[in-house]
Amino acid sequence: MILEHAVLHVRPGRAEEFEEAFARAQPLIAASRGFRGLTLSRCLERPDVFLLLVRWDSLTDHTEGFRGSAAYEEWRRLLHHFYDPFPVVEHFDDVASA
């Protein structure tokens, strides 16, 4: 399983609007092949910062499957205008757990 990690810096004062848009966008990613779940967390110290963690079966399920789909185009339309700066998305593979 692959873990996608993105720190989302939302434009100041738009966090609640972002959360509402994310709720509309979530079914788009959830319907994607290889999607296993996600968490969106809001930073306590910086309320305009969110942490998105998405679990995928494989890297290509995210990078080619979801990102190459019409659902991703709608995801972009709903969410990408909230970010400043645009997030760096990275992928991780488990090496240890407890």
Query: In this structure, what CATH number is given to the domain that contains residue 16?
Result: 3.30.70.100
Provide the domain limits for residue 28.
Answer: 2-84
Number of domains in the chain: 1
Q: Does residue 31 fall inside a structural domain?
A: yes
Tens-digit pLDDT profile for residues 8-49:
999 999 999 999 999 999 999 999 999 999 999 999 999 999
93 in a domain, yes or no? no
Residue 91 lies in a domain: no
- Residue 10 belongs to some domain of the structure: yes
- Report pTM: 0.96
Cβ atoms 61, 33 nearer than 8 A: yes
Beta-carbon contacts of 45 under 8 Å, excluding residues fewer than 6 positions away, are none
Does residue 98 sit within a domain?
no
| Nearest in space to 16 (alpha carbons), one of 51, 53, 54, 47 | 47
